């Protein structure tokens, strides 16, 4: 399961893990001004495994595993019910593979309902590998090249994971490693879900914040121009906390020397570009109704049955596509 960067990244940044507070260092342990607690991120992190590895290593240490992703409102209950029902239908001692498992959230949920199951999680990043009985996680493993014998698994699951890969190659691997009659269930990002819509809005705000116009005004030390741009940003994104936080941060540092402003801007890029990249991946992975036919085309030839529906909140808002069936 890929965590939702909309909420997961903001809190560490606010807490000073990328940027210190504007005041001097104190007993809180925060770094002042431009002494980020975390190692600056390189541009190469814009791509898949390295990007997600940095995410998991920095924001999800092993002693604080992320138990579940952010799912708004009563959607979390709907997701829990979904996995409870899926677990109930599995054979005794079933071997289950979790695609794009992250920290193993789905595996933990399944084992809460059925401790006789054996869960194998794979993820293409260097994800945490918690010590949970009957749950084994293999980092650095691609869904497109699964290193297990044919017919090993009784079931396959994924929560916001399988859609991040190449579905054509992943489908071929599923056809190989799943036993005939094996069950599968994938919850896939829906393009109209609150998670995806909120992510798109946040990404737009961050891109505007990092735009050439804001950069030019800040680096030149043009306070009047920067204030005008900040006003427009806050009006355009009134409920986006990152815009409020970082426009205030830029305004505070625009009076520094030219060299200090250059360093400040680079720190801003190092801190926020990884999140922009994650939000871009989120938007690309989400599926609209018009895309589902093509996306499912790779699964249909190898599965005995495939059903598609929309998992919804009580209000009717979509949470995810529910793709289930039998091998």
Does the pLDDT at position 46 exceed 70?
no
Q: List Cβ neighbours of 207 (8 Å cut-off, separation of 6 or more).
A: 276
HEC profile for 262-319? Answer: HHHHHHHHHHHHHHHHHHHHHHHHCECHHHHHHHHCCCHHHCCEEEEEEEECCCCCEE
Per the structure block, which two tokens stand in for 317?
Answer: 């808002």
Could you report the per-residue pLDDT of 228-285, keeping only the tens digit for each? 999 999 999 998 988 999 999 999 999 999 999 999 999 999 888 888 998 999 999 9
Report pLDDT for 98.
98
What are residue 268's phi and psi, to 5 degrees?
A: -65, -45
Top-confidence range, 3-17, 28-42, 293-307: 293-307
| Average pLDDT value over all residues in the chain | 84
What whole-number percentage of the chain has pLDDT above 70?
82
Q: Is the pTM of this model over 0.85?
A: no
Does the pLDDT at position 300 exceed 80?
yes
Region 70-90: what's the mean pLDDT? Answer: 90
CA distance 136 to 153: 14
Q: What is the 8-class DSSP label of residue 326?
A: E
Banded model confidence at residue 37, pLDDT cuts 50, 70, 90: very low
Q: List Cβ neighbours of 306 (8 Å cut-off, separation of 6 or more).
A: 296, 299, 300, 323, 324, 325
**For 29-33, 168-172, 268-272, which range has the lowest pLDDT when averaged over its residues?**
29-33
HEC profile for 142-194? Answer: CCCCCCCCCCCEEEEEEECCHHHCCHHHHHHHHHHHEEEEEEEEEEEEECCCH
The class that CATH gives domain 75-190+305-326 is alpha beta
DSSP assignments along 70-137, one per residue: ---TTHHHHHHHHHHHHHHTSPTT-EEEEET-TTTHHHHHHHHH-TT-EEEEE-SS------BTTEEE
CA distance 281 to 261: 30
Report pLDDT for 135.
96
Domain borders along the chain are 5-26+38-43+194-283, 75-190+305-326
Does the pLDDT at position 33 exceed 80?
no
CA distance 251 to 264: 11
């Amino acid at each position: 399961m890929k965590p939702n960067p909309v909420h997961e990244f903001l809190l560490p940044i606010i807490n000073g893990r990328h940027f210190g507070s504007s005041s001097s260092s104190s007993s809180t342990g925060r770094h002042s001004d431009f002494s980020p607690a975390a190692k600056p991120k390189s541009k190469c992190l814009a791509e898949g495994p390295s990007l997600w590895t940095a995410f998991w290593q920095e924001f999800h240490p092993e002693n604080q595993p992320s138990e579940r992703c952010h799912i708004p409102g009563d959607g979390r209950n709907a997701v829990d019910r979904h996995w409870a029902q899926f677990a109930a239908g599995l054979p005794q001692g079933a071997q289950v593979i979790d695609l794009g498992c992250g920290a193993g959230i789905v595996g933990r949920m399944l084992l809460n309902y059925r401790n006789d199951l054996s869960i194998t999680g794979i993820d293409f990043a260097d994800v945490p590998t918690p010590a949970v009985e009957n749950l084994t996680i293999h980092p650095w493993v691609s869904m497109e090249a699964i290193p297990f014998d044919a017919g090993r698994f009784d079931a396959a699951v994924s929560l916001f994971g399988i859609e991040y890969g190449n579905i054509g190659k992943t489908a071929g691997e599923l056809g190989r490693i799943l036993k005939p009659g094996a069950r599968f269930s994938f919850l896939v990002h829906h393009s109209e879900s609150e998670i995806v819509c909120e992510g798109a809005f946040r990404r737009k705000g961050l891109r505007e914040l990092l735009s050439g116009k804001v950069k030019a005004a800040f680096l030149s030390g043009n306070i009047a121009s920067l204030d005008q741009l900040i006003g427009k940003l806050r009006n355009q994104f009134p409920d986006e906390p990152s815009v409020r936080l970082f426009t205030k941060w830029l305004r505070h540092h625009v009076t520094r020397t030219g060299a200090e402003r250059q360093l400040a801007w680079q720190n801003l890029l190092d801190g926020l570009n990884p999140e922009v990249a994650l939000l871009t991946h989120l938007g690309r992975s989400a599926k609209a109704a018009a895309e589902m036919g093509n996306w499912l085309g790779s699964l249909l030839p190898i599965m005995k049955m495939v059903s598609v529906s929309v998992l919804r909140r009580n209000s009717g808002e979509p949470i995810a596509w529910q793709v289930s069936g039998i091998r």
